[in-house]
């Protein structure tokens, strides 16, 4: 639910600069109170709608419920069945979802159709929150399923690394009673070591974690940090930025969403991931009911998302 709220708020200003956003809005509530936002082309964006981030995250949740073998192909089929182009998918992911129905038996090759080494977009990290929740007590399994969930659309090593780091952040948040930034950062460093043992280049994330630790030590603002980490559509920018927004403001869901959105860039996605971590840490009751009431979706009201989360909890409870 934290992810959904982050996505909804960020969607209103996706790809805008922090200066532009500050010139239009002063607060998250002001964004949520806006009826619609003119689009560059096509009909206006209705505030309260999810984008691809939440649509696919809910797809991952339903996949976890339905398919205990965690088959990447089954997940891709679900994404393709629920694909709605107006939710502003990334171009590589959109191309895969459009082609899948006619190329089912070549689903593995589709993931390298646009980018020869697979995509390192943030599109697989943005949807892993349910995996972090259900495997919160088993990091190894959480990482394995996160990689399986990335495989159909994001097969670049950096996308796998980003998806695993975001999963670890959500899992750690869900199992931590008290806040200690090292409890988040150390398992991320361990996971990167495993990727590096497989001869993958992990330097973008290693450097980002170094910058995050340095920034936390100096209480650097999220805005200032965004010029170091970046706020773009790649996993290696958006995932560390989202993690920083949470680690810098672990006590306040509302502050996390505000920071993640007002820094500009890939706002729906950074706020979606930061909101997922913050929600997992603080619990659903910190999400303001006035924000939840702004969800304007036919199939997924706030209570429908909560029911899905409850079903997942029941399905995977030890
Ligand atoms: O990752 P993806 O699903 O996009 C997610 C983003 C989020 O912001 C959503 O909110 C939505 O708006 O889109 O889609 P991809 O097309 O796989 O990756 C996103 C972008 O990352 C691509 O369009 C490229 O600009 C860049 N990118 C790459 N560029 C060069 N080489 C991803 N992989 C590569 C690459 O290998
Ligand atoms: Mg989106
Ligand atoms: Mg986005």
Cα(178) to ligand 2 centroid in Å equals 31
Each residue of 82-112: pLDDT tens digit?
Answer: 999 999 999 999 999 999 999 999 999 999 9
- What single string gives the DSSP state of each residue in 145-165? HHHHHHTTT--SHHHHHHHHH
Q: Which atom of ligand 1 is nearest to the CA of 91?
A: 16
pLDDT for res 41: 83
**Residue whose CA is at the smallest distance from ligand 1 atom 17:** 92
Query: Predicted confidence band at 135 (pLDDT cuts at 50, 70, 90)?
Result: very high
pLDDT for res 193: 98
CATH of residue 185's domain is 1.10.4080.10
Q: pLDDT at residue 73 above 80?
A: yes
pLDDT for res 84: 97
Residue entry with tokens 């972090």: 132
Whether 10 is in the pocket of ligand 1, judged by its Cβ within 6 Å, is no
Q: Indicate the pTM of the whole model.
A: 0.98
State how many domains the chain has.
1
Residue 41 lies in a domain: no
Whether 237 is in the pocket of ligand 1, judged by its Cβ within 6 Å, is no
Each residue of 117-127: pLDDT tens digit?
Answer: 999 999 999 99
Cα(235) to ligand 3 centroid in Å equals 11
Cα(253) to ligand 3 centroid in Å equals 19
> CA nearest 284: which of 173, 143, 127, 178?
173
Whether 53 is in the pocket of ligand 1, judged by its Cβ within 6 Å, is yes
Q: Best mutation site among 83, 92, 231 for ligand 1, i.e. most ligand atoms within 8 A of its Cβ?
A: 92
Q: pLDDT at residue 42 above 90?
A: no
Whether 269 is in the pocket of ligand 1, judged by its Cβ within 6 Å, is yes
Residue 104 lies in a domain: yes
Each residue of 3-32: pLDDT tens digit?
Answer: 999 999 999 999 999 999 999 999 999 999
Cα(88) to ligand 2 centroid in Å equals 6
Cα(116) to ligand 1 centroid in Å equals 13
Residue 38 lies in a domain: no
Q: Residue-wise over 130-143: b if at least 16 C-beta within 10 A, else e?
A: bbbbbbbeebeebb
**Residue whose CA is at the smallest distance from ligand 1 atom 6:** 90
Residue 42 lies in a domain: no
First to last CA, the chain: 23
CA distance 118 to 155: 5
Cβ-contact 137, 175 below 8 angstroms: yes
Whether 234 is in the pocket of ligand 1, judged by its Cβ within 6 Å, is yes
Query: Predicted confidence band at 294 (pLDDT cuts at 50, 70, 90)?
Result: very high
Residue 40 lies in a domain: no
| Measured CA distances, 76 to 71, 153, 290, 299, 314 (Å) | 9, 8, 34, 20, 24
Whether 123 is in the pocket of ligand 1, judged by its Cβ within 6 Å, is yes
Q: pLDDT at residue 39 above 90?
A: no
Whether 155 is in the pocket of ligand 1, judged by its Cβ within 6 Å, is no
Alpha helix ranges (H) inside the chain? 2-11, 18-24, 28-32, 52-66, 72-81, 91-99, 107-110, 129-134, 139-150, 157-175, 181-197, 203-217, 222-229, 235-248, 253-262, 267-282, 289-292, 302-316
Whether 303 is in the pocket of ligand 1, judged by its Cβ within 6 Å, is no
pLDDT for res 254: 98
The range of the structural domain enclosing residue 186 comes to: 2-33+47-316
């Amino acid at each position: 639910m934290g992810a959904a709220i982050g996505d909804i708020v960020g969607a209103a200003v996706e790809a805008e600069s922090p200066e532009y956003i500050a010139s239009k809005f002063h607060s998250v509530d002001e964004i949520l109170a806006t009826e619609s936002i003119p689009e560059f082309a096509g009909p206006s964006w209705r505030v309260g709608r999810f984008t691809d981030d939440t649509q696919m995250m809910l797809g991952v949740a339903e996949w976890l419920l339905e398919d205990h073998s965690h088959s990447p192909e089954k997940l891709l089929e679900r994404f393709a069945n629920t694909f709605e182009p107006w939710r502003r998918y990334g171009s590589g992911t959109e191309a895969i979802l459009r082609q899948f129905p006619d190329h089912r038996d070549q689903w593995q090759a589709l993931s390298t159709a646009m980018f020869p080494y697979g995509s390192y977009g943030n599109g697989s990290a943005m949807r892993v929150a349910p995996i972090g929740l259900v495997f919160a007590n088993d990091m190894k399994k959480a990482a394995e399923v996160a990689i399986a969930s990335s495989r159909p659309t994001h097969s670049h090593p950096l996308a796998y690394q980003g998806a695993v780091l975001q999963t670890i952040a959500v899992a750690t948040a869900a199992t931590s009673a008290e806040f200690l930034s090292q409890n988040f950062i150390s398992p991320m460093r361990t996971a990167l070591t495993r990727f590096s043992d497989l001869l993958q280049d992990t330097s973008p994330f290693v450097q980002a974690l170094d910058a995050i630790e340095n920034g936390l030590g100096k209480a650097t603002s999220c805005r200032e940090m965004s010029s170091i980490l970046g706020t773009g559509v790649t996993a290696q920018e958006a995932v560390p930025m989202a993690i920083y927004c949470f680690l810098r403001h672990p006590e306040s869901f509302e502050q996390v969403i505000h920071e993640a959105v007002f820094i500009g860039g890939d706002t729906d996605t950074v706020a979606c991931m930061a909101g997922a971590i913050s929600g997992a840490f603080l619990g659903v009751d910190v999400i303001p009911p006035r924000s939840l009431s702004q969800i304007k979706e036919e199939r997924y009201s706030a209570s429908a998302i909560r029911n899905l989360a409850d079903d997942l909890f029941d399905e995977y409870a030890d």
